[in-house]
Amino acid sequence: MDEIQQYMREKAEQVEEKLGEYVKEAPGVPKSLKEAMTYSLMAGGKRLRPTLVLATAEALGGEEAKALPFACAVEMIHTYSLIHDDLPSMDNDDYRRGRLTNHKVYGEAMAILAGDALLTKAFGVMAEGALDAGLPGETALNLIREGAVRAGAEGMVGGQVKDIQGENGKLELEHLQDIHRSKTGDLITFSVRMGALVANATENQLITLTGYAERLGLAFQIQDDVLDVVGDREKLGKPVGSDEEKNKATYPALLGLAASRDWVRNLVEEAKELVRSEPGIRGARLLAIADYLVSRES
């Protein structure tokens, strides 16, 4: 395992330990709800978003302990979005992170409520984290407000709505990018910005790191589409350029596989160049995470 994978595993373990504490020490929570929340929260996953919070804070010399609650909060928001995305009324998926989806185990009502509870908890955790870290009141409020915008109707939820409305048809590139900017990009950008804000980033550093995160978010999504197409071809034996492949709203369907891969590489190079060019960022880990995104297989 190379250094960055080792680093990501370590960060994932740290986050998981803290997440476990958050759900365990929850007095007054019905046992069944706690179980459903814990089931999805502790189901593994890459923990990319929390790792970005921690790596960004670290790159600016921030204290990891202060960033950890924010890392956990974004993973709670992400997990809620996955639980709801899998519901029968949305993607109707049976498996997620290698195990049965939340609603398959606990029923639809409990899955909806577990997602609701995780989303709400995330905002409590951010507020608590800001108090414990002694963040200036204005910084804390701005951060929490940004979370509401990026996770909500103007961000991830809005992106999901646009995605649902655009389903079953080929979209223009601009439209596809617009969906992903909010559906997946906003939470990734928020992760990096939280790490930066907790570590007292300067205005210029914040702008630069936002640019890094936006490129990373798009690269992540394109790469996800590429992996999907390659997986369908290799594992399911679907033919290259099948109608099904061409009619999906994905980057490979619009641009072809080679051009999609080139785009990912270019975005990652741009993201890395931004980090390298900004004074005061010790960004080796951020560069390595960007590289990992291009090389990841799942």
**Which residues are at the interface with ligand GRG (CB under 6 A)?**
45-46, 48, 78, 81-82, 84-85, 97, 156-157, 160, 183-184, 224
How far apart are CB 194 and ligand GRG at their closest, in Å? 16
How far apart are CB 292 and ligand GRG at their closest, in Å? 12
Tokens of 39: 């089931």
CA–CA dist 117, 87 (Å, integer):
16
Residue nearest to ligand GRG (CB): 45
Among 188, 210, 195, 201, smallest CA distance to 64 is for 195
Integer-rounded Cα radius of gyration of the chain: 19
How far apart are CB 204 and ligand GRG at their closest, in Å? 29
How far apart are CB 47 and ligand GRG at their closest, in Å? 7
CA–CA dist 194, 72 (Å, integer):
11
Nearer to ligand GRG, 156 or 196 (CB): 156
Q: List, in order, residues 6 or more apart from 138 with CB less than 8 Å away.
A: none
Nearer to ligand GRG, 120 or 204 (CB): 120
How far apart are CB 30 and ligand GRG at their closest, in Å? 23
Nearer to ligand GRG, 46 or 99 (CB): 46
Instruction: Please name the residue ranges forming H helices in the chain.
Output: 3-24, 31-41, 48-59, 64-85, 102-106, 108-133, 137-151, 156-165, 173-180, 186-198, 203-235, 243-247, 251-255, 257-277, 284-295
Nearer to ligand GRG, 180 or 285 (CB): 180
Nearer to ligand GRG, 184 or 205 (CB): 184
Instruction: Provide the CA 287 distance to its chain's centre, in angstroms.
Output: 17
Nearer to ligand GRG, 224 or 291 (CB): 224
Answer yes or no: are the C-beta atoms of 118 and 94 closer than 8 Å.
no
How far apart are CB 138 and ligand GRG at their closest, in Å? 28
